[in-house]
Structure 1
Amino acid sequence: MKKRTLIALPLVAVAATIFAYHTIFTLPDSAQVSTLSPATQAPELACYNNPKATVLDKQGELNVLVWNIYKQNRSSWQSALDYLAQDKQLLLLQEASMTPELRHWIDQGQWSGNLVDAFKAFDTSAGVLNLAHELPRKACAYTEMEPWLRLPKSAIYANYPLSNEQSLAVVNIHAINFTYGTEEYHSQLGKLAKALAQHSGPMIIAGDFNSWSEERLQVMKSLLEKLQVTEAIYQPDHRKQFINGLPLDHLFYRGLVLEKAKAPISDASDHNPMEVYFRLP
């Protein structure tokens, strides 16, 4: 009897884990992007297209916030986001949980944007989120499955018109984290690098790259150097680091003039934000 009980306990634990997983998480059948705008009602699509897009920059000024906001789990997220967003034209957020509170913040600030639904937790979408006061010309969803956790990580490839008649390509990424080796990591970044290679104008590639090992850094840099991008240098630099001192968050750019970049300390997330200020050449 005791032997049967000992055999049954692991099976019960596995069954309970599987049941809890399916109760909490809902995964999309394919990568889809949702459009958030008071004036636009768009279905979830692999790519959103907007032929009437207007310019992103403000008279040649382009200020960008990049931040993993930790699903808004800290009570001070809203006041911090109010402060950080006030002089920005583009917000690139990772681990955004589309709660009623975040949706209210978006609507109240008259922001518009696109969310890639990596998964739903208790029917609330979570993933990467681009916000601006104008919708992009194009936004496409990318997801890559975490091999251990079996939850997707997400990215957005977007395209925005600029006032100098150029087009800005933007990638907002939350990279694969828990893997043995770099195969899945290379696959996720490689798909985005391939899409960016088709773009001849300025670009921004930013987000939480989960670059916690030298091997991952090498993959990231080898793929991105082919795009002739430059990495922003921060002063001060309080980006979140892994235990070995490697930063997890990055911003790369091309075809823009970097005015300044800083990564201040914030208690509103488990990552510190990156504020990067550009002007058009």
Structure 2
Amino acid sequence: MFKKRNYTLRYRSNNDVEVILPNHQLSVNKSLIDHTSFSVLVWNIYKQKRADCIDILEQYANTAKLILLQEAQNTPQLLSFISKHHKVADHVPTYCFNDIYAGVMTITESLPSALLSFREKEPLIRVPKSALITIYPIAHSKKQFLVANVHAVNFSIGVKIYRQQIHMLLNRIKEHNGPIILGGDFNAWSQQRLNLLYDLIHSIGLRSVNFTIDNRKTFMGRPLDFVFYRGLQLETAEIINTKTSDHNPLLIKFRLD
């Protein structure tokens, strides 16, 4: 199961690194969204192994209110991007190699008021996958905005661990009274996984973002990357074709209901 007592690393424009412990809460005055449209970029960045991947982030640094990365590594290039654009990045590392951490990372323009991180070990290779829930104020509203960034387990026999991971995350999400975005690499490469994912998602009232031209990364003929939402209106959804990762980024525009 996800371990509840996890930590998160936070990077900011002053190049400081902060360790965020469980149940960390802040008094945050700056809202992340208001009643205007906003964009979200969701991308498995493939550990930044390919050249020019930061260029994609640069292209959308000023237009994407939220950037949800999977397989993000705290390389000097990515930290420089965060600092240059005065972003806040919350990172849930799953392993470390040569002082470089890898895991899901949520990049925004403002601090969350609360966060919760999760890790789940791959049953076969024992390398964890991570997930992160962050919650942000909404301008002129008592409600808050929940964002969940997930990289689901991949190598497993059957769907027991997969169900366990997704179910644990959704149990936290379903309690939220406000708009929600859930995005990431769900590794839904089998029909059994895909059916389970949709059943769990629909059970808490989330809707799926569909793409007119669907160039998402697939395995065994099924897409791996998804965005789900609730309490928002979907305006546009597109996929950015690139060779800078083994996944194509998803770019979605929403507005509040």
Q: What TM-score results when the alignment is normalised by the length of structure 1?
A: 0.85
Structure 1 residues 200-226: Cα deviation after superposition (integer angstroms, max 9, x where no partner): 211011000000001111221121112
Q: CA deviation at 1:168?
A: 1.0
Q: Which runs of 5+ in 2 are unaligned?
A: none
Which of 3, 18, 35 is the matching residue for 2:10?
Answer: 35
- In structure 2, what residue type is equivalent to 1:173? V
Q: CA deviation at 1:113?
A: 2.2
Q: Is 2:145 aligned against 1:168?
A: yes
Which of 33, 52, 72 is the matching residue for 2:28?
Answer: 52
Q: Which runs of 5+ in 1 are unaligned?
A: 1-27
Q: Say if 1:266 and 1:272, in contact at 8 Å, map to a contact too.
A: yes
Which of 154, 157, 166 is the matching residue for 1:180?
Answer: 157
Determine the C-alpha separation between the residues in 2 that align with 1:29 and 1:64.
27
- In structure 2, what residue type is equivalent to 1:269? S
Q: Say if 1:72 and 1:97, in contact at 8 Å, map to a contact too.
A: yes
Q: Is 2:171 aligned against 1:194?
A: yes
Determine the C-alpha separation between the residues in 2 that align with 1:47 and 1:277.
30
Q: Count residues in correspondence.
A: 253
Which of 50, 59, 76 is the matching residue for 1:83?
Answer: 59
Aligned partner of 1:109 in structure 2 is 85
Q: CA deviation at 1:115?
A: 0.4
Aligned partner of 2:200 in structure 1 is 223
Q: Say if 2:46 and 2:245, in contact at 8 Å, map to a contact too.
A: yes
Q: Say if 1:154 and 1:174, in contact at 8 Å, map to a contact too.
A: yes
Aligned partner of 1:17 in structure 2 is none
Structure 1 residues 103-161: Cα deviation after superposition (integer angstroms, max 9, x where no partner): 11110111102100111122211100001110111111100000111110000011111
Q: Say if 1:31 and 1:141, in contact at 8 Å, map to a contact too.
A: yes
- In structure 2, what residue type is equivalent to 1:235? T
Aligned partner of 1:16 in structure 2 is none
- In structure 2, what residue type is equivalent to 1:145? K
Q: After alignment, is 211-220 or 36-45 more displaced?
A: 36-45
Are the structure 2 counterparts of residues 83 and 128 from structure 1 closer, same or farther at C-alpha, using a change threshold of 3 Å? same
- In structure 2, what residue type is equivalent to 1:192? L
Aligned partner of 1:239 in structure 2 is 216
Determine the C-alpha separation between the residues in 2 that align with 1:235 and 1:154.
29
Are the structure 2 counterparts of residues 47 and 62 from structure 1 closer, same or farther at C-alpha, using a change threshold of 3 Å? farther
Q: After alignment, is 220-229 or 174-183 more displaced?
A: 220-229
SS in 2 for 1:188: helix
Q: How does 1:115-130 map to 2 (within 5 A)?
A: 115-130=91-106
Q: Say if 1:32 and 1:45, in contact at 8 Å, map to a contact too.
A: yes
SS in 2 for 1:178: coil
Are the structure 2 counterparts of residues 85 and 238 from structure 1 closer, same or farther at C-alpha, using a change threshold of 3 Å? farther
Determine the C-alpha separation between the residues in 2 that align with 1:200 and 1:168.
9
Is the radius of gyration larger for structure 1 or structure 2?
1
Q: Say if 1:147 and 1:179, in contact at 8 Å, map to a contact too.
A: yes
Q: CA deviation at 1:30?
A: 5.4
- In structure 1, what residue type is equivalent to 2:190? S
Identity of aligned residues (%): 35
Structure 1 residues 139-196: Cα deviation after superposition (integer angstroms, max 9, x where no partner): 1110000011111000001111112412111110000000000111011101111001
Q: Say if 1:33 and 1:141, in contact at 8 Å, map to a contact too.
A: yes
More helix by share: 1
Q: After alignment, is 211-220 or 269-278 more displaced?
A: 211-220
Are the structure 2 counterparts of residues 53 and 194 from structure 1 closer, same or farther at C-alpha, using a change threshold of 3 Å? farther
Q: After alignment, is 76-85 or 89-98 more displaced?
A: 76-85
Aligned partner of 1:63 in structure 2 is 39
